[in-house]
Structure 1
Amino acid sequence: MPDPLPVSRLLSAYRLLERVPLGRTLFSQGYRFAAPYFRTIPARVESVEPGVAVAEMRHAPWVRNHLGGVHAIALCNLAELTMGAAAEATVPRTHRWIPQAMEVEYRARAQGRMRCTARLDLPQPLGERQQVAVAITVTDRQGVEVLTGTIRIWVTERPRR
């Protein structure tokens, strides 16, 4: 069996920065600037490991809906941000990924700080191209699920150079 591939740059950066003061904040800022749309939500990556990532989003005026809760699309942005961290930490460097579909269910009114967990299990062996499901759960401070869903990513082999 070949040696495992080196960890992704994202996972290496997270592991380095999580050990220093304000490291997770610095990591989160860099991650959000790499994908500028993520700057539309006040999110912070809390943990990243192969197969799972966790991020939080504080409640801010610009993520509110007309009823004063967290807007549904802000929750979806948090879900995609978290899924991206999990995918980057999990999909080997021989492959690349892109979101293909998102299905969500809004289960309760979202208010206050939100916590999102993204989990994915890569099939073994990982094929040349295939769809992989990433399970998403968003909870509030009391642990109430406010959103559940699945983001399907399309995983393909990187072209050989």
Structure 2
Amino acid sequence: MTFDVGAFMLQSVPFARTLDITFDRIEPGLAVARMPDRPDLRNHVGGPHAGALFTLAESASGAAMLSAFGDQLTRATPLAVGAAIRYVKLALGEVVAEARLAASREEVVARLDTGERPEFEVAVTVSTADGTPVCEVGVTWTLRPNR
């Protein structure tokens, strides 16, 4: 199945559209997403709210996951099953999330082939527009076999 992962994400996840998230780059196992600096998305210290940062990171992770496993959607439903976030620096201005599949696609598909419900990680770094890291996020995904 070949499709525009960024467009699919924005169509199927309305909250990502609410935050004006856009996708700069998507390729197998990788996605780069961006969120603008808007006053209504800021926290009490002037940076993007933690929830907005998390949503950006989770959206990027979903695009990275779909870019690797979109061809499996006819037989499995992707679900985020866990996440952890670590804030490392105050973000100011526009932020960019780079998400990378941390698992082997072949191993995940092989486990799905045996009827398992594989879980795998997508690692995300969120940075300011100049490349300064502001948070690190790990999202655990699963492919739940369709019955």
Classify the TM-score, shorter chain. 0.7 to 0.9
The 1-side partners of 2:26 and 2:61 are apart by 10
- The answer as to 2:130 corresponding to 1:142 is yes
Cα deviation for residue 123 of structure 1 reads 5.0
Q: Please give the alpha-carbon distance, in whole angstroms, between the structure 1 residues aligned to 2:106 and 2:48.
A: 34
**Secondary structure of 1:129's aligned partner:** coil
RMSD: 1.8
Q: Pick from 111, 116, 127 the counterpart of residue 126 of structure 1.
A: 111
Deviations 1:53-76 (A, max 9, x none): 101111001110011111111000
Runs of at least 5 residues in structure 1 that lack an aligned partner in the other structure: 1-5, 15-26
- 1:47 and 1:72, CA in 2 relative to 1: closer, same or farther beyond 3 A? same
- Tell me which residue corresponds to 2:10: 32
Contact kept? 1:10, 1:89, Cα under 8 Å: no
Query: Which AA in structure 2 matches 1:84?
Result: G
Partner of 1:113: 94
Q: Distance in 2 between matches of 1:31 and 1:129?
A: 22
- Find the aligned partners of 1:142 and 1:47 in 2 and give their Cα distance: 17
- TM-score norm. by structure 1 comes to 0.77
1:158 aligns with 2:138: no
* One-letter code aligned to 2:37: H
Q: Deviations over 1:68-91 (max 9, x none)?
A: 111111000101111111111111
The alignment covers a number of residue pairs equal to 137
**Identical residues among aligned pairs (%):** 29
> Which has the larger Rg?
1
Alpha-carbon contact 1:110-1:146 (below 8 Å) kept: yes
SS of corresponding position for 1:110: coil
Given candidates 85, 108, 129, the residue that maps to 1:104 is 85
Which deviations, in whole Å up to 9, do the C-alpha atoms of 1:3-31 show, x marking residues without a partner? xxx43x234xx6xxxxxxxxxxxx4xx64
SS at match of 1:73: helix
Q: Does 1:74 align with 2:52?
A: yes
Q: What's 1:55 paired with?
A: 33
- 1:97-119 Cα offsets, whole Å, 9 max, x none, are 10111100000001111110111
